Amino acid sequence: MQRRSPFLIATLAFGFAFLYGPILLLILYSFNESRLVTVWGGFSTKWYAELFRDEQILDAALVSLRVGVFSATIATVLGTLSALMMVRFGRFRGRLLFTGMITAPLVMPEVITGLSLLLLFVALETAIGWPAGRGVDTITIAHTTFCMAYVTVVVRARLAGLDRSVEEAAMDLGARPLKAFLVITLPMLMPALVSGWLLGFTLSLDDLVIASFVAGPSSTTLPMVVFSSVRLGISPKINALATLLVILATVTILIAAWILWRQERERDRAVSQALAEDKGRHATGRRA
Amino acid sequence: MIDTVVPQGPAARPEGSRPGAMQRRAEAPPIIDIQDVVKTFGDFVAVDHVSLTIREGELFALLGGSGCGKTTLLRMLAGFEQPTAGRILIGGQDMTRTAPYDRPVNMMFQSYALFPHMTVEANVAFGLRQDGRLPRARIRERVREMLDLVQLAPFAKRKPHHLSGGQRQRVALARSLAKHPKVLLLDEPLAALDKKLREETQLELVCIQERVGTTFVVVTHDQEEAMTMADRVAIMDTGRIVQVDTPHALYEYPNTRFVAEFFGTVNLFQGVLVEDEPDHVLIRSDALARPVYVGHGISAREAATVWVALRPEKIAISKQAPDTPHNWDSGIVEDIVYLGGISTFHVRMDGGALARVTMQNLERMAAPEITWDDRVYLSWRHDNIVVVTS
């Protein structure tokens, strides 16, 4: 084997250490006996027990999950529609500007998004009485707006790469446009829809800034609880919470990767089998 | 085309493998009637005043280079594009504005466009299920029938990405034939296959067409493919139809230089009509030392500019000078291309033009050897000449 340069090995090691060192440290200290986060006092799982006794954190986790599921779902529907419009509508004057505006929330500073949404909600409440006060609804709406931009980008890429003639073939065989879309195009978009949904869900779960602007007194999300408790002094409980989140994320990614890998392997096997059979058919045909 | 040359020799007799079928088709009623159809995309005219009749049971080919409008014309037959002007009749009914899902035609796409998330079986059944009238058992039976037709029965439960290219092509064919369409439209059906498989599949397609009796309209850019498969061929160029005829007639009696050059190889010599009689004409060309004597009258006036078209296999090559006053010239062999069955001689004529002459290698072995830099004499019969005026 070829000898690799020590510089490259050092770069690799440093890179990984930089990325994953803090996370490993965090997981390690979640099993710390000591009340002090930075001093090792022996192994213990007591902070996990304490975490599950903390009503405030559990409530916040529930709020976060609800907001995440709803906003990711609504964003997937709206994002798919906007992606469809952008790919299928054809050229028109100002198309570039329009495309840019749909994806602008991706780069918009969160503070501005949060503040502008807050102003909108307050204005709406005075004008039509809805949404009454700020709470889970307003956070969901706010998260939907920026998640939609991400879903649009993901679905648009998939849609643009799709062979249009597949949908045409469905119509040619007698399916009306709506049915052709639902039965043929939508299943082909499924991977993009799933990853768009997951992306939206993760972003929503993660968001602190926008949620802080549009949240009400009764609706505290998980990141808000974590942030406020850290300000009062770091509790090892938060380490335990973070560890659980990291494990959850890792397991989800591993499952997704495993499913993809299995599909790939199955396809490769079937393709080589089909090729072998095809060759066999021609060989026998010639002998006959 | 206005300046059609009317050959007055023996009538064009098609030489397809199935003269009986050809005869029957000649009397069959039209199934597709394209009437003065125009299609523009912005400033670009894709299809330019095309009128065409396709008869029932025919295997019809639309042949042309890329961008000649053949695919646009096919998509208008399928209903995916709307003509800017003109009418399209299918089975006697005006279908110019009918949606694709309401037309009695089906299409086989160049990319095959199989539904990737459905099995082979479900792909073939898709069209049959759309009506909602067919009982389930009947659908199963029909799917079975179609898969047997294309020899894919053992693959019924496979997904398309588990199939080879040739198998996918057959699934696409089975799917588009399942609904008993009045017309099957095929967009470059063999373009994605490799050469060997393509040649086999050409004949397979013809066999299947014979068996099911459906009218096939094939779009292709491959002249040989059109020649092998089609009963009649329409040659398209820049949105217009240049000539519609049997492959035999297109090859023997092209009506323009474009057709002569597109459909096979040809040697073209520009000349002037110097003698115009009902039973023969004389053409003088700067490229040839002697005048060309054509054994039939042509529809051009004296002193008109014409082109003499000579197919490479219809020129005889010899080391002896003929003793006739017309229809021969001499030159030097510049190159010889050996192609197995035949050889092609590239001869630099004394007038400066390059002529291509082919010879069966069987014949070549028997004749006195002709080699590089030999002085040779090229001659042709007066009834083997095609004269085109445009």
CATH of the domain at B368: 2.40.50.100
Q: Which of A1-15, A266-280, B25-39, B114-128 shows the lowest mean pLDDT across its residues?
A: A266-280
| Contact status of A115 with chain B (Cβ, < 8 Å) | no
Q: Identify whether residues B305 and B253 lie together within a single domain.
A: no
- Spatial strand order of the sheet with B59-63 comes to B105-108, B183-187, B215-220, B59-63, B232-237, B240-245
| B353 and B242 part of one domain | no
- Write down the pTM of the prediction: 0.81
For residue A277, the model assigns a pLDDT of 61
Query: Is A162 an 8 Å CB contact of chain B?
Result: no
* B142 part of a folded domain: no
* pLDDT tens string B249-285: 999 999 999 999 998 899 999 999 998 888 889 999 9
* Confidence at residue B12, expressed as pLDDT on a 0 to 100 scale: 37
Q: Is residue B199 part of a domain?
A: yes
Chain B residues close to A273, C-beta within 8 Å: 162
The tens digit of pLDDT for each residue in B117-157 reads 999 999 999 999 998 888 999 999 999 999 999 999 999 99
| Cross-chain Cβ contact A173/B99 below 8 Å | no
Going by pLDDT thresholds of 50, 70 and 90, the confidence category of residue B33 is very high
Inform me whether the C-beta atom of residue A170 falls under 8 Å from chain B C-beta atoms. Answer: yes
Q: Would you say residue B217 has pLDDT above 90? A: yes
Instruction: Specify the range with the lowest mean pLDDT, choosing from B104-108, B126-130, B159-163.
Output: B159-163
φ/ψ of B49, rounded to 5, equals 50, 65
Structure confidence by residue, pLDDT tens digits, B79-104: 999 999 999 999 999 999 999 999 99
Residue A204's pLDDT is 92
Q: Which of B257, B288, B312 is the last residue before a domain boundary? A: B257
CB-based contact B124:B174 (threshold 8 Å): yes
pLDDT at B4 over 60: no
Which distant-in-sequence residues (6+ apart) come within 8 Å of B104 by Cβ? B90, B91, B181, B182, B183
Contacts of A271 (CB under 8 A, 6+ apart): B161, B162, B164
Q: Which residues contact B143 (CB under 8 A, 6 or more apart)?
A: B121, B124, B125, B128, B156, B178
Q: Are residues B64 and B213 in the same domain?
A: yes
Q: What's the domain range around B71?
A: 19-104+181-257
Convert the pLDDT of each residue in A177-190 to its tens digit: 999 999 999 988 88
Does B246 lie in the same domain as B314?
A: no
ipTM > 0.90? no
B294 and B344, same domain (yes or no): yes
Asked if B220 contacts B62 with a C-beta cutoff of 8 angstroms, the reply is: yes
Whether residue B380 lies inside any domain: the answer is yes
Quick check: is B124 in a domain? no
* 3-class DSSP assignment, residue A36: coil
Q: Where are the domains of chain A?
A: 17-53, 55-234
Last residue of a domain, one of B212, B229, B257: B257
Of the candidate CATH numbers 1.10.3720.10, 1.10.287.610, 3.40.50.300, 3.40.50.1820, the domain formed by A55-234 belongs to 1.10.3720.10
Residue B59 in this model has a pLDDT that exceeds 70: yes
- Please state which of the ranges A36-45, A193-202, B28-37 shows the lowest mean pLDDT: A36-45
Q: Is the pLDDT confidence value at A269 over 50? A: yes
Establish if B12 belongs to a structural domain: no
pLDDT of residue A274: 64
Q: Which residue of B has its CA nearest to A271?
A: B162
Residue A132: pLDDT band by 50, 70, 90 thresholds?
confident
Mean pLDDT of the region B341-360? 92
Give pLDDT, residue A282: 52
Q: Which of residues B335 and A3 earns the better pLDDT score?
A: B335
Structural domains in chain B (count) = 2
Average pLDDT over residues B306-314: 93
pLDDT band at A286 (very low <50, low <70, confident <90, very high): very low
pLDDT at B144: 95
Position A93 confidence tier, pLDDT thresholds 50, 70, 90: confident
Chain B residues within an 8 Å CB radius of A179: 130
Q: Do B110 and A267 touch (CB under 8 A)?
A: no
Interface of A with B in 244-283 (CB under 8 A): 267, 270-271, 273-275, 278, 281
**How distant, in Å, are the alpha carbons of A264, B235, B273, B308, B356 from that of B343?**
50, 28, 33, 23, 10
Is the pLDDT at B241 greater than 90? The verdict is yes
Q: Name every chain B residue with its beta carbon within 8 A of the beta carbon of A276.
A: none
Rounded-to-integer distance, Cα A270 and Cα B164, Å: 10
Q: Is residue B71 included in any domain, yes or no?
A: yes
Q: Residue B246 falls within a domain, yes or no?
A: yes
Give the span between the Cα atoms of B292 and B287, in whole angstroms: 11
Confirm whether B153 is domain-assigned: no
Asked if A278 and B110 come within 8 Å (Cβ–Cβ), the reply is no
Neighboring chain A residues of B126 at a CB cutoff of 8 Å: 170, 173, 175
Instruction: Please tell me the predicted confidence (pLDDT) of residue B367.
Output: 78
pLDDT exceeds cutoff 80 at B340: yes
Give per-residue pLDDT as tens, B361-375: 888 887 788 889 999
Task: Determine how many CB atoms are found less than 10 A away from the CB of residue A194.
Answer: 13
> Does B7 score more than 60 pLDDT?
no
Phi, psi of B241 (to 5 degrees): -90, 125
Interchain CB distance below 8 Å, A267 and B162 = yes
pLDDT band at B21 (very low <50, low <70, confident <90, very high): low
**Residues in chain A within 8 Å Cβ distance of B167:** 274, 278
Task: Kindly report the number of other CB atoms within 10 A of residue A178's CB atom.
Answer: 8
Q: Which residues of B262-272 are buried (b: 16+ CB within 10 A; e: fewer)?
A: bbbebbbbebe
Name A242's Cβ contacts closer than 8 Å, sequence gap at least 6: A26, A30, A226
Residue range B305-323: mean pLDDT, rounded: 92
Residues B216, B250 within the same domain: yes
Percent of chain A with pLDDT over 70: 91
Q: Are residues B304 and B350 in the same domain?
A: yes
Question: Going by C-beta distance under 8 Å and a sequence separation of 6 or more, which residues neighbour residue A131?
Answer: A121, A124, A125, A137, A138, A141
Predicted local distance difference test score (pLDDT) of residue A102: 82
**Rounded-to-integer distance, Cα B261 and Cα B250, Å:** 11
Is the pLDDT at B28 greater than 90? The verdict is no
As a dihedral over the C-alpha atoms of residue B18, residue B21, residue B24, residue B28, rounded to 10 degrees, the angle is -130
Structure confidence at residue B8 (pLDDT): 38
Same domain (yes/no): B193, B280: no
Residue A172 and residue B116: Cβ atoms within 8 Å? no
List all residues 6 or more positions away from B155 whose beta carbon is below 8 Å from its beta carbon.
A274, B120, B147, B163, B167, B171
- How does the average pLDDT of chain A come out, rounded? 86
Give CA separation, B357 vs A3, B254, B262, B278, in Å.
63, 19, 17, 30
- Kindly report the CA angle at B104 between B102 and B109, in degrees rounded to 5? 95
According to the 3-state scheme, what is the secondary structure of chain B? Answer: CCCCCCCCCCCCCCCCCCHHHHHHHHHCCEEEEEEEEEEEECCEEEEEEEEEEEECCCEEEEECCCCCCHHHHHHHHHCCCCCCEEEEEECCEECCCCCHHHCCEEEECCCCCCCCCCCHHHHHHHHHHHCCCCCHHHHHHHHHHHHHHCCCHHHCCCCHHHCCHHHHHHHHHHHHHCCCCCEEEEECCCCCCCHHHHHHHHHHHHHHHHHHCCEEEEEECCHHHHHHHCCEEEEEECCEEEEEECHHHHHHCCCCHHHHHHCCCCEEEEEEEEEECCCCEEEECCCCCCCEEECCCCCCCCCCEEEEEECHHHCEEECCCCCCCCCEEEEEEEEEEECCCEEEEEEEECCCCEEEEEEEHHHHHHCCCCCCCCEEEEECCCCCCEEECC
Mean residue pLDDT across chain B: 89
Interface test with A, best of B117, B183, B201 (most A CBs within 10 A): B117
Task: Name the minimum distance, in Å, from the CA of B30 to any CA of chain A.
Answer: 22
Q: Does residue B9 have a pLDDT over 70?
A: no
Q: Identify whether residues B33 and B97 lie together within a single domain.
A: yes
